[in-house]
Structure 1
């Protein structure tokens, strides 16, 4: 049976990882970004309207205010709509974000299982030991950081938002300018997920470091002994 100290450390890491999964689950159901653009009728230099797109992972909302002539508000399915308007690169990037988030959840679930297993046993020499936990939690943190980068590139760099507005502009040519994007709660919760995954690694590392130090001290009891005693 493991020591009480070890059980507490691994149970604490499991709790942190469980909280991170809850954070990830919530962030996947809320807003990630908002994109705003000035909108005019093609050939008109006067900006008389705006278009605002609110992005979630699976659905989005498009609000057009006199863009280009009249306003409208509609919801859309993100990936099907992007496929319909012929957006290949944004579709691939958005699908990659979803796949990476699913992998993050899978790695976090594995981290919890490994933590619980280590809290009741001592599998140091197997993949179910601390090394397995380090691998799973590190993958969770790293993949979530990649998600942050890909999502912000997809929203700000590609023409995903502009093409979406043009495809819904009542068949009237529209000119869009001054695009700006603001990240929302869902995006920042991914950062919190990464931090919690790192904290879980730190908790296990602290225990492993202390256990290793204690083991080294027990293996070398004569290092600090006086030379006169060691001669006999």
Structure 2
């Protein structure tokens, strides 16, 4: 049976990772970004229209006001819309894929932590090494998600392609694209932090266990010389 100290550390790691999973799951159901553009019908110089595209991970809305038509709200499926418009769907697909893989590694971290809290496995991938790997991959992949999503929304023409498609054949010109990130995007940051905290908790346990083993292996180093002579 593991010691109380080991149970405390590994249960703390499991709880921390479970909170991070709940945060990321909630984040995936929220709005991630909004893109606003000024637009007008081709051939005119007055940009009196505007369009706002709201990006969730799997669905979105396009609210337009004379962009170039009279104001309406259009709902769409993100992957279907990107595929139909020829926008760079691969970046968006990578975001969703990496988020799913991050959740998988977090789930593995929880299982390994719970396993260690009720047993004493050897120093294999079912011990601290496995937790280091799973938590580090979760944190690293989710950081990559932040970068890829920001590039997809800000540096590609996804929003412009949506506007052109929904203009139903009416020529349209656009300018001053502005992207603002929303709650879903920012909730990935505490997920990264909690994954790193999980690594820190297990490192503290691993360091304490290593120190204890060293003390047991050298019990006579600090003994008086007179005692060691006998």
TM-score bracket, normalised by the shorter chain, equals over 0.9
State the match for 2:122 in structure 1: 124
Q: Does 1:144 align with 2:163?
A: no
CA positional deviation for 1:86: 1.6
Question: Counterpart of 1:220?
Answer: 218
State yes or no: 1:197 paired with 2:195: yes
Report deviation, 1:113: 0.5
2:30 paired residue number: 30
Secondary structure of 1:43's aligned partner: coil
Q: State the 1:16 CA deviation.
A: 0.8
Unpaired runs of at least 5, structure 1: none
Are the equivalent residues in 2 in contact too, given 1:124–1:130 (CA < 8 A)?
A: no
Question: Please, what is the CA RMSD of the aligned residues?
Answer: 1.3
SS in 2 for 1:181: strand
Q: CA deviation at 1:72?
A: 1.4
- Residue 221 of structure 1, CA deviation: 2.5
- Name the SS for the 2:125 alignment partner: coil
User: Are the aligned partners of 2:99 and 2:145 in contact in 1 as well (CA < 8 Å)?
Assistant: yes
Runs of 5+ unmatched residues, structure 2? none
Count of residue pairs brought into register by the alignment? 230
- The CA deviation at 1:229 is 4.7
- Aligned partner of residue 206 in structure 1, secondary structure: helix
Match of 1:53 in 2: 53
C-alpha separation in 2, matches of 1:179 and 1:114: 46
| Runs of 4 or more above 6 Å deviation | none
TM-score by length of 2: 0.96
Could you tell me which residue of structure 2 aligns to residue 103 of structure 1? 101
Kept after mapping to 1: 8 A contact 2:17/2:195: yes
